[in-house]
Amino acid sequence: MSKDPFRIFNVNEFKKWMESSSEESSEESSEESSEENLVGRSVSSNVSFKKLRSVSEVLDCEKALIEFHKKGGTVIEEEGKQLTVKTKKGCLKIERSYTSIN
């Protein structure tokens, strides 16, 4: 039986395909996140300063936030999805999804 691009759409086949692809992707992402330890790695912001201000928690002083946005920082602690990042001016906490690994 040849694969006809114009064949009738089968909902059951689509559901099976979605289930199998989501299982594969969740396995891959959990393996990646569990293997990768970011402590000691250099990270930078991948969001605007305004967004960064709203999603981060400054631990020392506001200048740490400015420094992180301009030059990035080094991860000193990782708790689940939360990172504690050290800059020359101080420390801040931010969710991993708002950072880029350098």
Host domain of residue 54: 42-101
| Domain tally, the chain | 1
Residue 27 has pLDDT above 60, yes or no: no
pTM of the model: 0.63
Q: What is the mean pLDDT of the chain?
A: 83
> Is 11 inside a domain boundary?
no
> Is 49 inside a domain boundary?
yes
Beta strands in 1-102 (DSSP E): 42-45, 57-58, 73-79, 82-86, 91-95, 99-101
Residue 4 has pLDDT above 70, yes or no: no
Residue 88: the pLDDT is 93
The residue with greater pLDDT, 23 or 99, is: 99
The three-state DSSP-derived secondary structure of 41-68 is: CEEEECCCHHHHHHHCEECCCHHHHHHH
Q: What is the pLDDT of residues 6-22, one digit of tens each?
A: 667 778 888 888 888 77
> Is 96 inside a domain boundary?
yes
